[in-house]
């Protein structure tokens, strides 16, 4: 699809790091016109060029006497503003929501922070690991008997942060179409991560989730939802949650299902895991990939970032696109006209 669904939407992004940059990238991927306002002399330290794709960039010293007026001039003709400063910073600079409303009452003002705009921690510094730590999510990730393991910065910064910020911005934009009113979107990572963990919260309250790491169906506790080391030191991912897939897993491993322990009984999990560990260790990872490619058993190779660029499925879809230095993720999701045989790219 040429242009994308957000063609005609103008976004002002106040330069920063992490989630707000990701928001700007997604908006640009969807077709919006994104202007990134950067500080003089700032070299975008820590911001990867792939995250900056699709932007127009300009320099404004927002701390100078003329800076706020220059920002507000851009805000006056924008639909969305995205900022990731600590609460109160843009207000002190003269470009807060009230200032922006004076020049553009229909503006969607998106604020992406870790702790949110209020609460005891609102003014504190933090990073992804801190935000997911407070929500209970980090506590749940790791091996049995081990310490919590940070899942990169994907769950907090981008899952609970930028992705929920984009949803909030688009929802506010839709609401404005009917009322003409602008909105402030308070996209706090702690709120977003908690929302992502809604299923686990319910399981916990129903007595179906243990606070012990590595003791649940989805945290590596169950032997049928875990990774296994192969003879070449690489790994496969096994996600045979349902009985159908479990049966096909056993077929691929050459096991007679009727002679297998009851996997519904957690007391038998160590025994099952021991056998699966021994079996997967007998062949290299790619051999297992070939065996399970046609079995539909929810068994796939665990690929490194580099290997993923050569994967046959990702290549066929164009999920990763070549660049001068390697590759980058293509725009997502794909959006195309209803009734078309295959969705076109949104860019």
- Both tokens of 263, joined, read 């996997």
Q: Which DSSP letter does residue 330 get?
A: P
Give which of 172, 163, 170 is closest to 192, Cα–Cα: 163
Hey, which residues are catalytic here?
127, 157
Pair 292, 252: CB distance under 8 Å: yes
Q: Hey, what's the torsion of the CAs at 256, 261, 263, 265, to 10 degrees?
A: 170
How many H-runs (helices) and E-runs (strands) does the chain carry?
13, 11
Q: Hey, what's the torsion of the CAs at 120, 122, 128, 133, to 10 degrees?
A: 10
Pair 286, 311: CB distance under 8 Å: no
Give which of 164, 7, 185 is closest to 81, Cα–Cα: 185
Bridge partner residues of 323 (DSSP): 326
Query: What is the rounded CA–CA span in Å between residue 306 and residue 300?
Result: 16
Question: Listing from the earlier edge strand, what are the strands of the sheet with 55-59?
Answer: 55-59, 33-38, 10-14, 80-83, 108-113, 183-188
Q: Hey, what's the torsion of the CAs at 59, 71, 123, 110, to 10 degrees?
A: -110
The pairs formed by 15-18 with CB atoms below 8 angstroms and a separation of 24 or more are 15/39, 15/42, 15/44, 16/83, 16/84, 16/85, 17/46, 17/47, 17/84, 18/84, 18/153, 18/157, 18/161, 18/162
Pair 106, 182: CB distance under 8 Å: yes
Q: Which DSSP letter does residue 49 get?
A: G
Q: Which DSSP letter does residue 140 get?
A: G
């Amino acid at each position: 699809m040429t242009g994308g669904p957000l063609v005609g939407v103008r976004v002002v992004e106040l330069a920063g790091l992490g989630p707000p940059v990701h928001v700007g990238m997604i908006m640009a991927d969807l077709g919006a016109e994104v202007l990134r306002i950067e500080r003089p002399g700032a070299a975008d330290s820590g911001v990867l060029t792939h995250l900056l794709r699709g932007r127009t960039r300009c320099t404004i010293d927002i701390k100078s006497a003329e800076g706020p007026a220059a920002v507000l001039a851009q805000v006056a003709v924008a639909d969305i503003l995205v900022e990731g400063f600590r609460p109160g910073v843009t207000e002190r600079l003269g470009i807060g929501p009230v200032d922006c409303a004076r020049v553009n009452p229909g503006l969607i003002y998106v604020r992406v922070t870790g702790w949110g705009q209020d609460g005891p921690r609102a003014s504190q510094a933090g990073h992804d690991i801190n935000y997911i730590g407070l929500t209970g999510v980090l506590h749940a990730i790791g091996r049995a008997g081990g310490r919590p393991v940070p899942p990169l910065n994907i769950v907090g910064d981008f899952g609970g942060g930028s992705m929920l910020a984009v949803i909030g911005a688009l929802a506010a934009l839709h609401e404005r179409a009917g009322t003409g009113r602008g909105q402030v979107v308070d996209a706090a990572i702690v709120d977003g991560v908690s929302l992502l963990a809604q299923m686990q919260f319910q399981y916990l309250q129903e007595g179906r989730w243990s606070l012990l790491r590595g003791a649940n169906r989805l945290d590596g506790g169950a032997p049928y939802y875990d990774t296994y080391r192969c003879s070449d030191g690489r790994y496969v991912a096994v996600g045979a949650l349902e009985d159908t897939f479990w049966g096909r897993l056993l077929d691929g491993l050459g096991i007679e299902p009727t002679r297998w322990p009851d996997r519904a009984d957690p007391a038998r999990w160590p025994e099952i895991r021991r056998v699966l560990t021994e079996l997967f260790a007998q062949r290299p990872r790619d051999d297992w990939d070939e065996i399970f490619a046609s079995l539909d058993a929810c068994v796939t190779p665990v690929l490194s970032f580099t290997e993923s660029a050569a994967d046959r499925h990702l290549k066929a879809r164009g999920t990763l696109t070549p660049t001068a230095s390697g590759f980058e993720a293509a725009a997502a999701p794909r959006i195309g006209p209803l009734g078309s045989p295959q969705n076109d790219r949104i860019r």
